[in-house]
């Protein structure tokens, strides 16, 4: 059932071109510049009159929510807050009937996310679900929703479910932008055409596997690791760090690259790898200065860069090249090498990658 792969996690990493295609199927019409989300279409009016969205989730799903925040604010121009469900539910949050709450959950069973939904529902908010498991508890209590269609995820550490959550949130951002007239038709055609090509770019990103394995061999004995990114690559850094700590038990932290000098910079030495997401997008130059700051302090840098990049190559100890994409889609592609890096490091350390200690696939108690 592992389809020839050593672990479910690796199989699921490799399934991503397919799972994202499934997620996009019947939902985007690039030539017409049209997004169709049948699950939420009855709420099109609501979306036109919205002032604020609150995203609630836990763990990896919360990271997907952070990517969603960047995309929805950028393209649909609606203000978004992203909350840990466990904090939101106990904080007496301010919620009104005007609000839209988007709950993200792979399993659809997470206790804290469920409780956050119930609270928001009581206060009259509209609730959308972004779930993977069809017919699970969360999709049954939400008003509407969009399934991710990633298929069953067996590996406890989430991989393909994450990228399909990000895909759904990307679709929602463009759908809302379309409904609200926040985007021109020609821009939509351009973005949807790029989105349609993402599964093919992920296939290319998976070809970095051998290179990543070599890098993993160099860093498998690290005790700490830092992941840094800016903009929508910041949540990618958080997700990279979570993946590494979950399956390899190496202590890892994700930070916005600019926050490095407000604390984590004190940790930098030759023993601690620093992984940068340094693709050629709006914050490229800023990230380059951050890389220089790490190198100046004797740190070792692994950088995820856009294909053909030579500037970062000259500075970093190791570079992993991924195909260039439009800014909106970096998280979908940049996540792939980070999943592979964690996977190989964990395997080399002899860890049980599919079932890491102390973790459960679905967290039904708070
Ligand atoms: C990390 C991971 C967890 C889940 C979290 C939420 O790899 O799998 O952090 O993301 O427990 O689970 P769902 O999405 O099922 O609500």
| pLDDT at residue 325 tops 90 | yes
Q: How far is the CA of 107 from the centre of ligand 1 (A)?
A: 8
Question: What is residue 279's predicted lDDT score, i.e. its pLDDT?
Answer: 98
Residue among 59, 63, 141, 155 whose CB has most ligand 1 atoms within 8 A, to mutate: 59
pLDDT in tens, 53-100: 999 999 999 999 999 999 999 999 999 999 999 999 999 999 999 999
Question: Cα-atom radius of gyration of the chain, to the nearest Å?
Answer: 20
Q: How far is the CA of 63 from the centre of ligand 1 (A)?
A: 10
pLDDT in tens, 24-33: 999 999 999 9
The dihedrals phi and psi of 151, each to the nearest 5 degrees, come to: 85, 170
The dihedrals phi and psi of 101, each to the nearest 5 degrees, come to: -110, 130
Residue whose CA lies nearest to ligand 1 atom number 5: 59
pTM: 0.98
Residue among 106, 114, 247, 248 whose CB has most ligand 1 atoms within 8 A, to mutate: 106
Question: What is residue 17's predicted lDDT score, i.e. its pLDDT?
Answer: 98
The whole-angstrom separation of Cα 336 and Cα 228 is 15
Residue among 66, 363, 365 whose CB has most ligand 1 atoms within 8 A, to mutate: 363
Q: How far is the CA of 58 from the centre of ligand 1 (A)?
A: 6
Ligand 1 first shell, C-beta below 6 A: 58-61, 105-107, 110, 113, 157-158, 242, 246, 362-363
**ipTM at complex level:** 0.99
Which of left, alpha, beta for 359 (phi over 0: left; psi -120 to 50: alpha)?
A: beta
pLDDT in tens, 270-299: 999 999 999 999 999 999 999 999 999 999
Question: Which positions are annotated as active-site residues?
Answer: 361
The whole-angstrom separation of Cα 287 and Cα 255 is 12
Can you say whether the dihedral through the CA atoms of 350, 355, 357, 359 is positive or negative?
positive
Helix 16-24 crosses helix 160-179 at what angle (to 10 degrees)?
Answer: 30
């Amino acid at each position: 059932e592992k389809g020839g792969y050593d672990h479910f996690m690796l199989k699921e990493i490799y399934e991503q071109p397919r799972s994202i295609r499934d997620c996009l199927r019947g939902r985007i019409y690039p030539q017409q510049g049209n997004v169709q989300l049948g699950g939420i279409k009855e709420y099109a009016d609501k979306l036109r009159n919205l002032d604020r969205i609150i995203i609630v989730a836990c763990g990896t799903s919360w990271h997907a929510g952070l990517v969603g925040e960047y995309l929805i604010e950028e393209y649909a121009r609606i203000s978004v807050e992203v909350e840990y469900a466990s904090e939101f539910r106990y904080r007496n949050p301010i919620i009104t009937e005007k609000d839209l709450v988007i709950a993200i959950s792979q399993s659809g069973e997470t206790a804290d996310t469920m409780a956050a939904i119930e609270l928001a529902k009581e206060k009259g908010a509209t609730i959308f679900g972004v779930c993977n498991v069809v017919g699970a508890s969360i999709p049954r209590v939400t008003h509407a929703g969009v399934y991710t269609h990633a298929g069953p995820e067996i590996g406890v550490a989430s991989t393909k479910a994450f990228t399909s959550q990000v895909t759904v949130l990307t679709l929602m951002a463009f759908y809302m932008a379309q409904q609200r007239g926040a985007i021109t038709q020609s821009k939509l055609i351009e973005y949807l055409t790029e989105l349609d090509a993402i599964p093919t770019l992920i296939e290319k990103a998976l070809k970095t596997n051998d290179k990543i394995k070599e890098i993993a061999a160099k860093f498998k004995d690290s005790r700490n690791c830092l992941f840094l990114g800016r903009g929508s690559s910041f949540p990618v850094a958080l997700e990279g760090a979570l993946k590494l700590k979950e399956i390899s038990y190496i202590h890892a932290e994700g930070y916005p690259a600019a926050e490095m000098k407000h604390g984590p910079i004190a940790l930098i030495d030759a023993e601690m790898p620093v992984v940068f997401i340094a693709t050629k997008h709006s914050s490229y130059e800023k990230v380059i200065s951050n890389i220089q700051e790490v190198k100046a302090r004797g740190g070792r840098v692994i950088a995820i860069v856009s294909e053909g990049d030579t500037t970062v190559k000259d500075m970093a100890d190791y570079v992993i090249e991924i195909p260039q994409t439009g800014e909106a889609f970096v998280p979908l592609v940049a996540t792939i090498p980070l999943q592979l890096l964690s996977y190989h490091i964990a395997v080399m350390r002899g860890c049980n990658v599919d079932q890491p200690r102390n973790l459960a696939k679905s967290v039904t108690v708070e």
